[in-house]
């Protein structure tokens, strides 16, 4: 049984696609899913992806490629083994990471920002070598 210490909720136009994205990119396990939500977990973190009601979703435009939603003060952070291999996963799943030259060092980690298939900003961190 996981010992959840932190969590987040994301409202999505396509909760199925976004759930698959974070399951793969962040290495989270599906704990539960139904027709409007998915609960993803690790040992200490829970991410809930909820489907936006259709009457609201109709008014939300997500570009192709998605336009980054940079106007939010919150950014999810996920720790990964490798930024380069995660970059490939992110692209294959409809998101994007910033270019290599925009990576930086912070707290003994290599850091890179990106966005998911709906434009939500997230960050990945890998142990610096």
pTM of the model: 0.87
21 and 86 in contact (C-beta within 8 Å)?
A: no
pLDDT bracket for residue 27 (50, 70, 90): very high
Looking at residue 64, its pLDDT comes to: 83
Could you read off the pLDDT of 83-111 as tens digits, one per residue? 999 999 999 999 999 999 999 999 999 99
Distance CA 78, CA 83 (A): 11
Helices within the chain (DSSP H only) = 15-26, 54-57, 83-92
Domain spans of the chain, in order of start: 6-53+66-127
Q: Is the distance from CB of 69 to CB of 115 less than 8 angstroms? A: yes
Task: Give the separation between CA 72 and CA 101, rounded to whole angstroms.
Answer: 24
pLDDT the model gives residue 54? 82
Contacts of 70 (CB under 8 A, 6+ apart): 121
Scan for tokens 């980054």, then name that residue. Answer: 68
Rounded distance, CA 12 to CA 129, Å?
Answer: 35
Judge whether 13 and 118 are in contact, CB under 8 Å. yes
Q: What is the CATH number of domain 6-53+66-127?
A: 3.10.180.10
């Amino acid at each position: 049984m996981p010992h959840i210490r932190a969590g987040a909720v994301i409202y999505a136009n396509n909760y199925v696609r976004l759930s698959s994205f974070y399951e793969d990119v962040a290495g989270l396990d599906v704990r539960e899913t139904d027709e409007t939500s998915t609960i993803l977990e690790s040992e200490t973190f829970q991410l809930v992806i909820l489907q936006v009601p259709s009457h609201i979703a109709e008014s939300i435009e997500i570009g192709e490629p998605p336009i980054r939603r940079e106007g939010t003060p919150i950014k999810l952070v996920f720790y990964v083994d490798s930024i380069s291999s995660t970059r490939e996963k992110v692209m294959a799943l409809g998101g994007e990471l910033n270019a290599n030259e925009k990576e930086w060092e912070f707290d003994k980690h290599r850091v890179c920002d990106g966005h998911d298939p709906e434009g939500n900003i997230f960050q990945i961190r890998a142990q610096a070598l």
